[in-house]
Amino acid sequence: MPNILVVEDSPTMRQLIGFAIKRIPESRIIEATDGVDALKKLASEKIDVILADINMPVMDGLKLVSLVRENPSYKNIPIIMITTEGAEEDRKKALAIGANAYLTKPIQTQELMKLVTSFFP
């Protein structure tokens, strides 16, 4: 059963992403509202894939990615960034920090599902 951590401050986006993820058989969604909340969830749950927004209060998505990559327990978890930042330099920056994929909003649920399942073993 893959556990997917959705890190997003917008309840609208969390619900929309949840709709897409629910269609992946046996998947389980764990929600976090910012980077700090995500780190707490990472410590208490076994996470298979992280979906994270970039612009969030308290701790943004880029900081979260760098902290996850520094931690030996989580460093191999695939991270997909979901953001409104569509510029090429933003994409490069996120991938350079350690994100595995970069999706821009508005998202297509089918595209998101494909991307998430591509990281399952």
Partner 1 sequence: MEKEFNLSKKADEFLQMFKKGEEFTKNLLKENERLRFRIAQLEEELEKAGNEDRKMLYEEKIRVLEKEIGSLLERYKQVEEENKDFASKYLEVESENNNLANLYVASYQLHSTLDFNEVLRIVLEIVINLIGAEKFAIYLMDEKSNELLPAAAEGISLSEIPKTKIGEGVIGKVAKEAESYFIEDFGERGSSPADPAHPIVCIPLKIKEHVIGVISIYSLFIQKASFSNIDYELFNLLAGHAATAIFSSRLYTQSERKLTTIQSFLDLLKEKPKK
User: Which residues are near partner 1 by CB under 8 A?
Assistant: 10-13, 15-16, 19-20, 84, 86-87, 104-106, 108-110
Task: Report residue 57 as tokens.
Answer: 């209060």
- State the minimum distance, in angstroms, from the CB of residue 18 to partner 1: 9
CA nearest to 105, candidates 81, 88, 121: 81
Q: Which is nearer to partner 1, 39 or 102 (CB)?
A: 102
Write down the least CB distance from residue 103 to partner 1, Å: 10
Encode burial over 46-67: b for 16+ CB neighbours within 10 A, e otherwise: ebbbbbbbbebeebbbbbbbeb
Q: Which is nearer to partner 1, 71 or 84 (CB)?
A: 84
Least Å distance, CB 54 to partner 1, is 13
